[in-house]
Amino acid sequence: MLRVLLQVIRRDLLLAVRQKADVLNTLFFFVVVVTMVPLGIGPEPNLLRAIAPGVVWVAALLAAILSLARLFANDYADGTLEQMLLSSEPLTLIVLGKAAAHWLVTGLPLTVMSIVFGVVFDLGLQETGVLVVSLLLGTPVLSLIGAVGAALTLGLRGGGVLTSLLVLPLYIPVLIFGSGAVGAAASGVAYAAYLLLLGAFLLFASVLTPWAVALALRISVE
Amino acid sequence: MNWGSWDNFLRMGGYGFFVWGSYGMAMAILVIEVWQLKVRRRRAVTELQREAARRSA
Amino acid sequence: MNTAASPRIGLFWFASPQTFFPLAGKMVPLFSLLAAGLLLVGLYIAFLVAPTDATQGESYRIIFIHVPAAWMSMFLYLVMAFWAAVGLVFNTRLSSMMATAIAPTGALMTFLALWTGAFWGRPTWGAYWVWDARLTSELILLFLYLGFIALQAAIDDPRRADKAGAVLALVGVVNVPIIYFSVQWWNTLHQGASVSITRAPSMATTMLWGMLVMALAFWMYSIAVVLHRLRSIILERERRTEWVRELLREGRIK
């Protein structure tokens, strides 16, 4: 079981390393979007500090959505996905592996990058810490839920925009608690509950979404 | 509920715009939805008839 | 599931588009009539019986549209998800068609709830949109409906569209309480539920009655409209079958 999971992750990581452009694009998009906001709003430090959690989180959402297409599209195009569906290994496990690899090349770099944004927006050490932890817990959920959207829209025209429309409403709870955690930390209020809830979302999503994704893949491919 | 006059009824205690704007939209949606249903039915039937004609031709 | 003409299969007798089509045809006028009647009674109560509100004056009368629309928007989503799930599990085409038929009506109800909510909000809270928990959740519900409709529209193969929509609807339904809870946490401006099955309503009885009658009217209307749409969907998807061609020849379709 674990062997299959690791193999799937290893394969996807290898593919991602060979096509660095995909991965780097997502990260650059994240950076660019976050950078746009002060340019659009003005350099007032207090204002920027107040909106930073929301901005970073929304940018993370958008970057995650942008990167979803690559989750299954390449495997679908060259027939590997079909082989995965036919394989004797549980599809849910394969899906979990792909989502994990996706997170490793998109969510994790974003999370690390957010440390820089903590500094750039003058957030303070504790707030930045909470920002990082919230993204660490939340971005895997984005990959998992996003996988459902990617699987449902596999091969469809207008895919990217359609996937966004499907997936954004589902992302909202993660957004609310993710940026809420940082907001609470900034206000000096207890933020543990927010992070715990994010953790709960992660557990919930890890267990349920592979199932939905596997079902969606079978529907889309057959 | 005694309104006293038509004018009072239409003005809705100063909130006429909001009340009638709401009921008006409800009415509009009803009309639009029913109209859309008719259009869809007509299109379906026309398509059926066209296919029937094509088959008997 | 087969569509044999035997009543002994009981529950699945009307699961066939062929048997349900005429039944739905009879139901549409019935529910339309019920809707019209209830609407008249409801409007009578709303404007000629319910008194002026002490704090909100006459603007509260929007409640007789807003609350029923909001209730229907949520109820229809559940029903839609239910039929989509049935279609997915039992592989019955008609159940999936039902879900597809419900979606546009649900979306319109949601839009109406948002519109009337905004028009009620302006005189009550000073702004058309105040990002309160209830309205924001309704907005997200609208996105869920639109996503369902968009997904089905983007898929050419009807069976794939049925099943994909079902997965989306089910994922949505699981998320609705989570989204609602999240948005509640995020903001608590909207007035507490005025009508709840566990608490006594905090409004005049006539207002409550008006709301309930209007809610019933909206419900009857929704059934009539959805069934009418369903029949059109059946005609579209079953157009190659003999029974449809037979009905067409007999002039029984209009």
Name the nearest CA neighbour of C185 among B40, A193, A86.
A193
> Given a contact as 3+ CB pairs under 8 Å, which chains touch A?
C
CA–CA min distance A158, chain C (Å): 8
- Domain locations along chain A: 2-221
Beta bridge partners of C57: C53
pLDDT of residue C8: 52
Instruction: Say yes or no: C246 contacts chain B, CB-CB below 8 A.
Output: no
The pTM (predicted TM-score) of the whole model is 0.91
* ipTM for this model: 0.92
pLDDT of residue A13: 92
> From first to last of its 222 residues, what are the pLDDT tens digits of chain A?
789 999 999 999 999 988 888 789 999 999 999 999 999 998 898 999 989 999 999 999 999 999 998 899 989 998 999 999 998 889 999 999 999 999 999 999 999 999 999 998 988 899 999 999 999 999 999 999 999 999 999 989 877 899 999 999 999 999 999 999 998 898 888 899 999 999 999 999 999 999 999 999 999 997
> What are the residues whose beta carbons fall under 8 Å from the beta carbon of C224, sequence distance 6 or more?
C27, C28, C29, C30, C31, C32, C34, C35
DSSP tag of C191: P
Q: Which residues of C86-116 are buried (b: 16+ CB within 10 A; e: fewer)?
A: bbbeeebbbbbbbbbbbbbbbbbbbbbbbbb
Torsion angle (degrees, nearest 10) of CA C232, C234, C238, C244: -70
**Confidence band of C202 (pLDDT split at 50, 70, 90):** low
Residue of C nearest to B14 (CA): C58
pLDDT in tens, C171-201: 999 988 888 888 887 774 334 444 433 334 4
Sign of CA dihedral C40, C44, C50, C53: positive
Place of tokens 């159940």: C95
- How much helix, strand and coil, in percent to the nearest 5, is found in chain C? 80, 0, 20
Does the distance separating the beta carbons of A180 and C186 come in below 8 Å? Answer: yes
**Tally of CB atoms within 10 A around C83:** 22
The parts of chain B modelled with pLDDT lower than 50 are none
Phi, psi angle pair for C57, to nearest 5°: 65, -135
CA–CA min distance C66, chain B (Å): 8
Instruction: Say yes or no: C169 contacts chain A, CB-CB below 8 A.
Output: no
User: Is the Cβ–Cβ distance between C238 and C244 less than 8 Å?
Assistant: yes
Q: Which amino acid is at A100?
A: A
**The residue count for chain C:** 254
Name the nearest CA neighbour of A110 among A138, A145, A146.
A138
> What are the residues whose beta carbons fall under 8 Å from the beta carbon of C142, sequence distance 6 or more?
C107, C110, C111, C114
- How far is Cα of residue A169 from the mean position of the Cα atoms in its chain? 14
Of the partner residues A162, A170, A219, the one whose CB lies closest to the CB of residue C167: A219
Residue C248 has pLDDT above 60, yes or no: yes
The Cα–Cα gap between C2 and C19 comes to 12
Percent of chain C predicted with pLDDT > 70 = 89
The Cα–Cα gap between C26 and C20 comes to 10
pLDDT of residue B4: 84
Which residues in chain B have their CB less than 8 angstroms from residue C116's CB?
22, 25-26
Does the distance separating the beta carbons of A152 and C154 come in below 8 Å? Answer: no
- Is it the case that chain A and chain C have 3 or more CB pairs lying under 8 Å apart? yes
pLDDT in tens, C124-171: 888 888 777 788 889 999 999 999 999 999 999 999 999 999 999 999
Which ranges of A43-191 does DSSP label H, i.e. alpha helix? 45-67, 69-78, 80-86, 91-105, 107-120, 125-152, 159-187
pLDDT of residue C199: 39
The Cα–Cα gap between C99 and C101 comes to 5
For chain C, give the mean pLDDT: 87
CA–CA min distance A176, chain C (Å): 7
Does the distance separating the beta carbons of C143 and A165 come in below 8 Å? Answer: yes
Which residues in chain C have their CB less than 8 angstroms from residue B47's CB?
236, 239
